[in-house]
Structure 1
Amino acid sequence: MPSTKAISAETPSLTLPTMVLWAFRSEGCLGPKVYSEVPDGGWGWIVAVAFFIVEAFTYGVIKSFGIFLKDLMCEFNESNSRVSWIISICVFVMTFTAPLSTVLSNRFGFQPVVMFGGLLISLGTISTAFTSYIHQIYVTIGIVAGLGYCLTFLPTVTILSQYFSRQRSLVTAMASTGESFAIFAFAPAFTELKTHIGWRYTIVVLGILQSTIIICGALLRPMIIRPKTTASCTQALQSRKQEIINSLPKAELNHSLSPDPGIPSHEKQEQGLRTREQEQDLRTGEQEQDLQTVEQQEEEEELLQAPPSYQAAGVQARNKLLDLSVLKEGSFACYAAFGLFATLGFFAPQLYVVELSASMGTERDKAAYMLSIMAVAEIFGRLSIGWLLSWGRVRKIFVLLGCVSLMCLVLVLFTIVNGFWGLALCCVLYGFLLGNIASTHIPMLAEDDVVGIKRMPLAVGIYVCIQSFAGLAGPPLGGILVDITQNYSSAFYSCAIGTGIGALFLGLVRPTKTGCLCTKKRISSHQHSPGAKHVIEDNVVPEEILDISPNPQAQS
């Protein structure tokens, strides 16, 4: 009868680390999800809810942090500009370190990166309550929490795009409304809470609530595409692997032990033992080699089972943690330039619309409603653009181009209208268009007109990093123009110019991707040479003809 110690040694202990590791393995409740194709739902709905919460506790908190600015100015006896640097540093760190989130996600996966980012956010926010100088808040909120925002937002929106295909735009738009709902909920709730417990304890409560991002990160289960047509091949590999494993401890020793009259007995036994040991080593080595071969075939089979886009993504993620080759693509370069200049148009209304309204004679109590009007319109903008793009009959990048162009006109309209209702109308239009653009400009990277779904995880970090420079330079630039001109309209003009330049670059994305610009150059160069007409007609075929010409006689 085996002893108690022997039994306990054979039975694995169910410790907390063991249970956590099991949960994140393939057989665990938080391990990878296996689908035969992109599900357009399934566990993706859980990921969408997680993204809603992450959006609320990242961008929602950043846009609502203004309720603490007056308390910080009084507490530390600092100016408005010095306190405003808290959010500027936070947004810059959040966007500039975007490539770092790409590298870490490719190396460790989405789940641990987002969970670690949620921990940084919670620690950075809670530690702010124990600061004594404004420079310390630059570190706690600006650097620590800002880095956490980066490690949570981008991986979450990236994996959400992978779970959806046909409904990607609609689901992303719906989930991104968490930011707008957070502005409604946090601003009045924390303002009221401050009157009872003070701003320091209120920030502690906020930091505790932000720790829910850690739970959201655990729900971001990676997805594996495994078509049903290859199930028989996978089953055969599993059977072969199990057969080899079972045969390892049962190796047959087919060597005769019958005595040879010409060899002494003890020599024959020693020779037989040596021969059997060599044969057993040889058999075991061959079986281990077979096992390694089968495991390698399983790995290759798993990659081959995925669609071509996911195959390329898997190979690329293994070979490169950060792929800068996307900068060589003209379509991505134009799209990154669009993001750089268009970001200049995202800050002025939120920062200066209240002061602009007050300068036009509106009471400050009524002027504060402008931000609420923007938030409501932004929710409708996010939902409407998601429904429109999921319709499937429009080219998404052209819709985004139309929204950016209209925003440029609305920014100019801010400086023309007079009175409360005129500015309120501009806030409605601006909030609606901002919702259209904010919920689509990052998922647009997954479209084939830009880089495609297979390269989106590698491109999104670089894209947001490029945006960070406009986010850092935009607010100070607007402030300098206001100080020079003593007119808040100048900030809106500068944003309109930046948005207009961004629209021009956005209009070049698709022609650059399809090669229309290069085709036109080749046509103009060939037109000056004799016989160029035949060459052009034979080699340059419009894309629309390639898509709709089913008649075989057309090729003759």
Structure 2
Amino acid sequence: MPFSTSGGCLGPCVYPAVPDGGWGWAIAATFFLVEVCTYGVIKSLGIFLEDLIKDFGESNTRVSWVLSICVFTMTFTAPLSTVLSNRFGFQPVVMTGGFLISLGTITSAFVNSIDEMYITLGLVSGLGYCLAFLPTVTILAQYFDRRRATVTSVASSGESFAMFAFGPALTALKRHIGWRYCLMLIGVLQASVIGCGCLLRPIVIEPQREEPPPIPEKQQQPSPSLKRLQTTYDLDNEQTRTSISSASEDSRGSEDSGVTSLTASSTDMRAVSAAPTETKALMMEWEEQGSASVPPTPLKRLDGEVEVALGDTRRPSRAKLLDFSVLEDPAFICYSLFGLFATLGFFAPPLYVVELSKSRGVEENMAAYMLSIMAVADVCGRLSIGAAMNRLPCRKTLVMLGCVVLLCLVLVAFTMVWEFWGLAVCSALYGFFMGSVGSTHIPMLAEEDVVGVHKMASSVGVYVCIQSFAGLAGPPLGGVLIDATENYGSAFYSCAVGMGLGAVCLALVGPARAATRRRAVGTQGCPSCSPDNTSSQDDEQPDFLEVDLAPDSISPVKQAGSCRDTAGAL
């Protein structure tokens, strides 16, 4: 698809329609690397859980707060990320996020207490994760339409590859250099997000306009009777043009759209709406010439002035920095509650699965492979869900609902299995369904069943902010259960309960959207229920101003040309 650029090689990409590719492939590769450096690192921090407990002499609950604060900061500051992206653009925001991620991770290697790590890895890196991840996934959804689900699923597999590589690698590396130097190496790798931010070129959609064929000069010459008719209308409606011109100037001076000012002059319009005798005679003469088109309108010379008056309404308004109006949408509320409860099961299992395996008799080296098994299955899940959503004839929210229900059952199975192979099977199933849900729950906002692509950029921050509270409570809740029962399997119960509640809320999204549409149709079908009915009777009367502002209104000269074209064709 052809496109143009402005502002240099890293400026906006201009397309006539959503490209479903183009520079979007570079955005997808960027998102892959951002996933590696954000969620891939977060879900691999469980490798250092035992080391932090021993070095700082803290409990599971205290150490798990590091991940909780990081996730909470990442999600709670999502509205800030949305506001900054809409105000300054995606590129500077993501570059700033990459710097904060690297800074927080590297400084975490020099802390002397778990409280200091709450600040470095929890607050600083958590804010960086938010600024880097959300703008990237948002702009990726804008570059794709038909392939959105597939591309997002494949690009988000960077998280899975990171878990697959980081699990065994960091386990072996920390034995030689310790966990502090491992964090320093991770921080250096995360600095690559700064370069990724430069590639997030904004997209501009400018549909191509087809220019009408030029009209021959002979056909543009009006007849003498039409000239007399136009002159008469100009004289008869001088007062009307003056009132509209002044209203247009007033609207431009007050930065108003001009619609109110033009409507206010409707009294003057009705005052001159009765055509004089001379005008009626000319109209009869014009009709006798064989014209079959609509009679000329008296505002022919006002077209330019009306365009100026209405010019502000035709310009694309700046997108809202943050759209809290989505909280009035029942479907969005149900979907946000799904994200809130489901987040309880997003981060705790990768954090505790290694220690759970050790407590079930699995050797430390083999226990680290549980993360790798999750990662491989996660990739398969992301690829499968993209193909399934594009091909299955049912709603995409129903496909996700099935994955959430199965994920809930797998979390319960973690508490019932022992030894390596049982845990490996559960890890594989968890990774598959977790990849299916994790790669699509944010892009799913672009579907019409939720909010639609036109509101995604401003609503994603609100959605992720609501998720933040579950991200804050999830790992500590699991830590409290582990300290109370001395059983790592108890942490998976809280995850299963949260995922089950999320499934219930997700099932209500479709009925909530259907109810909203029925109310909208009912309001349109009942004129007495419409808020426009509260307007005055004068505004409801279809005077000739409304007719003249219609797109099909044309001047006598243009009508004459049209008549001659028809006659010539016959």
Q: TM-score, normalised by structure 2?
A: 0.69
1:448-487 alignment runs, 5 A limit: 448-487=448-487
Q: 1:122 aligns with which of 102, 119, 125?
A: 102
Q: Distance in 2 between matches of 1:195 and 1:418?
A: 27
Q: Distance in 2 between matches of 1:29 and 1:517?
A: 44
1:381-392 alignment runs, 5 A limit: 381-391=381-391
1:505 matched to 2:505? The reply is: yes
- Paired residue type of 1:452: G
1:182 Cα deviation from its structure 2 partner: 1.1
- Name the SS of the counterpart of 1:39 in structure 2: coil
Q: Is the 8 A contact 2:374 2:427 kept in 1?
A: yes
Q: Distance in 1 between matches of 2:511 and 2:67?
A: 37
Q: Is the 8 A contact 2:61 2:479 kept in 1?
A: no
Q: Distance in 2 between matches of 1:414 and 1:87?
A: 21
Q: Is the 8 A contact 1:91 1:146 kept in 2?
A: yes
1:185-241 deviation per Cα after TM superposition (whole angstroms, max 9, x unaligned): 2344444444555544443332222111111111110111111225799xxxxxxxx
Q: Distance in 1 between matches of 2:167 and 2:510?
A: 41
Deviates more, 1:385-394 or 1:214-223: 385-394
Q: Distance in 2 between matches of 1:146 and 1:231?
A: 51
In the alignment, what sits opposite 1:132?
112
Q: Which runs of 5+ in 1 are unaligned?
A: 1-24, 234-288, 305-310, 523-556
1:315 matched to 2:317? The reply is: yes
Q: Distance in 1 between matches of 2:421 and 2:44?
A: 24
Deviates more, 1:174-183 or 1:342-351: 342-351
Q: Distance in 2 between matches of 1:84 and 1:415?
A: 20
- Name the SS of the counterpart of 2:453 in structure 1: coil
Q: Is the 8 A contact 2:65 2:476 kept in 1?
A: no
- Paired residue type of 2:317: V
Q: Distance in 2 between matches of 1:61 and 1:199?
A: 14
Q: Distance in 1 between matches of 2:146 and 2:372?
A: 32
Q: Which has the higher contact order (CA 8 A, sep 6+)?
A: 2
- Name the SS of the counterpart of 1:353 in structure 2: helix
Q: Distance in 2 between matches of 1:382 and 1:399?
A: 13
1:75 Cα deviation from its structure 2 partner: 4.6
In the alignment, what sits opposite 1:207?
187
- Name the SS of the counterpart of 1:455 in structure 2: helix
1:23-56 deviation per Cα after TM superposition (whole angstroms, max 9, x unaligned): xx92300000000100000000000000001010
- Name the SS of the counterpart of 1:34 in structure 2: strand
1:179 matched to 2:159? The reply is: yes
1:405 matched to 2:385? The reply is: no
Q: Distance in 1 between matches of 2:484 and 2:52?
A: 27
1:121 Cα deviation from its structure 2 partner: 1.2
1:106 matched to 2:106? The reply is: no
**CA distance 1:476–1:86, change in 2 (3 Å):** closer
Q: Distance in 2 between matches of 1:140 and 1:479?
A: 21
Q: 1:50 aligns with which of 20, 30, 34?
A: 30
Q: Distance in 1 between matches of 2:198 and 2:313?
A: 25
Q: Which runs of 5+ in 2 are unaligned?
A: 214-252, 254-303, 523-570
- Name the SS of the counterpart of 1:28 in structure 2: coil
Q: Distance in 2 between matches of 1:139 and 1:476?
A: 17
Q: Is the 8 A contact 2:61 2:476 kept in 1?
A: no
1:386 Cα deviation from its structure 2 partner: 1.2
1:291-440 alignment runs, 5 A limit: 315=317, 317=319, 320-391=320-391, 393-440=393-440
Indicate the percent of aligned positions where both proteins have the same amino acid.
63
Q: Is the 8 A contact 2:342 2:502 kept in 1?
A: yes
Q: Distance in 2 between matches of 1:375 and 1:109?
A: 32
**CA distance 1:53–1:361, change in 2 (3 Å):** closer
1:358 Cα deviation from its structure 2 partner: 4.3
Q: 1:147 aligns with which of 109, 127, 130?
A: 127
Q: Is the 8 A contact 1:511 1:517 kept in 2?
A: no
Q: 1:64 aligns with which of 44, 48, 55?
A: 44
Q: Is the 8 A contact 1:125 1:203 kept in 2?
A: yes
- Paired residue type of 1:513: R
Q: Provide the alpha-carbon RMSD of the alignment.
A: 3.1
- Paired residue type of 1:104: L
1:517 Cα deviation from its structure 2 partner: 9.9
Q: How many residues align?
A: 427
- Paired residue type of 2:497: I
Q: Distance in 2 between matches of 1:190 and 1:355?
A: 15
Q: Distance in 1 between matches of 2:492 and 2:436?
A: 19
**CA distance 1:65–1:326, change in 2 (3 Å):** same
- Paired residue type of 2:450: V
- Name the SS of the counterpart of 1:322 in structure 2: coil
Q: Is the 8 A contact 2:341 2:499 kept in 1?
A: yes
- Name the SS of the counterpart of 1:326 in structure 2: helix
In the alignment, what sits opposite 1:224?
204
Q: Is the 8 A contact 1:323 1:458 kept in 2?
A: yes
Q: Is the 8 A contact 1:168 1:390 kept in 2?
A: no
Q: Is the 8 A contact 1:226 1:302 kept in 2?
A: no
Q: Distance in 2 between matches of 1:206 and 1:323?
A: 35
- Paired residue type of 2:139: I
- Name the SS of the counterpart of 1:321 in structure 2: coil
**CA distance 1:160–1:395, change in 2 (3 Å):** same
1:84 Cα deviation from its structure 2 partner: 2.8
In the alignment, what sits opposite 1:259?
none
1:385-428 deviation per Cα after TM superposition (whole angstroms, max 9, x unaligned): 11212336332111001111111222222334444333322222
**CA distance 1:427–1:185, change in 2 (3 Å):** closer
**CA distance 1:347–1:189, change in 2 (3 Å):** closer
**CA distance 1:193–1:347, change in 2 (3 Å):** closer
Q: Distance in 2 between matches of 1:44 and 1:65?
A: 31
1:163 matched to 2:165? The reply is: no
1:347 Cα deviation from its structure 2 partner: 3.5
